[in-house]
Amino acid sequence: MDDFFEFTEEDETLNYLTDRFEAMVKEGSRYFFDIEEYEDLIDHYLITGNLKLCGLAIGHSMEQYPGHTGFQIRQAQLLVSSNKAEKALRVLSKVEDIDPTNSEIYITKGAIYSQLKRYDDAIREYNKAIREDEVDLANIYSNIAFEYENLGSYDKAIEYLKKVLELEPENESIVFELSFCFEISGLHDDAIAYFTAFTDRIPYSKFAWFNLGVAYNNVELYEKAIQSFEFAIAIDPGFSSAYFNKANSLATMGLYRQAIDSYMDTFDYEEPEAFTYYSIADCYEKLNNYTNAITYFRKALDMDDSIAEAWVGMGVCYESIGNLMDAIRYIRRGLDLDPDNSDYLLTLASSQQNAGYFSEAAISYTRAADINPSDPLLWTDFASLFAGMDEYDHALEIIETGLTHQPDNSVLYYHKAAFLYNLGRRKQGMAALEAGFIYGSDGLADIFILVPNISEDKEILATIDRQFPDLIF
């Protein structure tokens, strides 16, 4: 209640000041305001964007108190708000000559230089503002950190963000900013070390535990990540982001049922979000529970029909239950939203192929190849379209094209060998087989599927056995 009445009193005081000042302006008269009252008026008009009244307040204040540098600093702030940054800097340079120990001058100059994207100059000015007795030191450090981020110097940003947390360990936004800098720099081990020490020092910081979990996720230590998220939840049972990230870790580990439970837990503490529904649907799809997956994909799309992966996911589920027409329709909806996604094109091509729409499938494969010819599955899937119709010459052309993009892909060589064998070009097939040996055994087993009677060819079996004696097919 004390806070409420204190706020109300301040609010009423400001209303009284603005009413009195605006009445003075309207009357064209002169009233007395002390320095603090003028500062409150000017700050209010700056914040609310009433630049005309702000300018009048500054003018009157400087007439009444010509030696007060605080009003000149605010004049510079007004000039910045009026897109006159260079003029503002000239004003501040004059104030600096008068009052060189005033840190507000340098903070204001730093902000102006930042706005002008002169980040090195901004850092220089902020550093001038640093004094041991500076009450706003944490804010200065954070400003310097942000300028280093603007410069892409994340190591220096990390240095200053750590300084902020030494002064304000409960500063949530800085904890997350530091975590971001560690992540974008790839300093995952450093993040783990820092947040581990942080939680040792301040064990009830839910934000530190949360970001420790994020760091563990980044190095694929999912069990430790889950443990960290659970500590954050123990501190704050309503920490919905911790439940969500815990669920992501569980899903990555393949623990889909537990992940679903953790995603559901978020609904106890915040309104459902489309992406959470999508994540639940994705888990159900991986559990082959296509009915529930479709239900949650629909929930996601009812909230946000721009989630392309939800449309495609629903299409995959419909194909899995044998409804190819709906599968193609929904996958196309996803492609409408993300037309250059080669994975979606391959998914569509596969569905079209399974539905017997071979010409349409060939078009989809071709589009995918134009977008991402380095996809390791693209060329064999595309070739399978023709191989399934015993058109091995066309299948061979596809593989040859694939090899121009992926010349070290052993799978392509073994498929080439199989298609040559099926075309009766055994000698060339043997050469392709031996060329594949250079790049490894991946895909070698496919030959026995693509050429069922090849197991009767003792020479080929002997050649494979000499090269890979430990392989069993």
pLDDT for residue 473: 65
pLDDT for residue 6: 42
The secondary structure of residue 30, as a DSSP letter, is -
- How many CB atoms sit inside 10 A of residue 101's CB? 7
433 contacts 463 by C-beta, under 8 angstroms = yes
The pTM for the full model equals 0.81
Instruction: Tell me the per-residue pLDDT of 109-138, one tens digit each, with 9 for 90 and over.
Output: 898 899 889 999 999 999 999 976 667 899
Q: 3-state DSSP call for residue 363?
A: helix
Q: Phi then psi for 453, rounded to 5 degrees?
A: -90, 10
Q: Is the pLDDT of residue 388 over 90?
A: yes
Instruction: Tell me the per-residue pLDDT of 190-228, one tens digit each, with 9 for 90 and over.
Output: 999 999 999 999 999 999 999 999 999 999 999 999 999
Mean pLDDT across the chain = 91
315 contacts 331 by C-beta, under 8 angstroms = yes
pLDDT for residue 73: 82
**Residue position matching structure tokens 């080669």:** 342
- Name residues whose C-beta falls within 8 Å of residue 92's C-beta, 6 or more positions apart in sequence: 72, 73, 76, 105, 108, 109, 112
| Per-residue 3-state assignment (H helix, E strand, C coil) for 261-323 | HHHHHHHHCCCCCHHHHHHHHHHHHHCCCHHHHHHHHHHHHHHCCCCHHHHHHHHHHHHHCCC
pLDDT for residue 342: 97
Q: 3-state DSSP call for residue 176?
A: helix
In the chain the domains, ranked by start, together with CATH numbers, are 272-372 (1.25.40.10), 376-473 (1.25.40.10)
Rounded average pLDDT over 242-259: 98
pLDDT category at 8 given cuts 50, 70, 90 is very low
pLDDT for residue 4: 37
Rounded average pLDDT over 149-169: 96
Rounded average pLDDT over 86-92: 83
| Per-residue 3-state assignment (H helix, E strand, C coil) for 77-140 | HHHHHCCCHHHHHHHHHHHHHHCCCCHHHHHHHHHHHHHCCCHHHHHHHHHHCCCCCCCCHHHH
List the structure tokens of 266.
């978020």
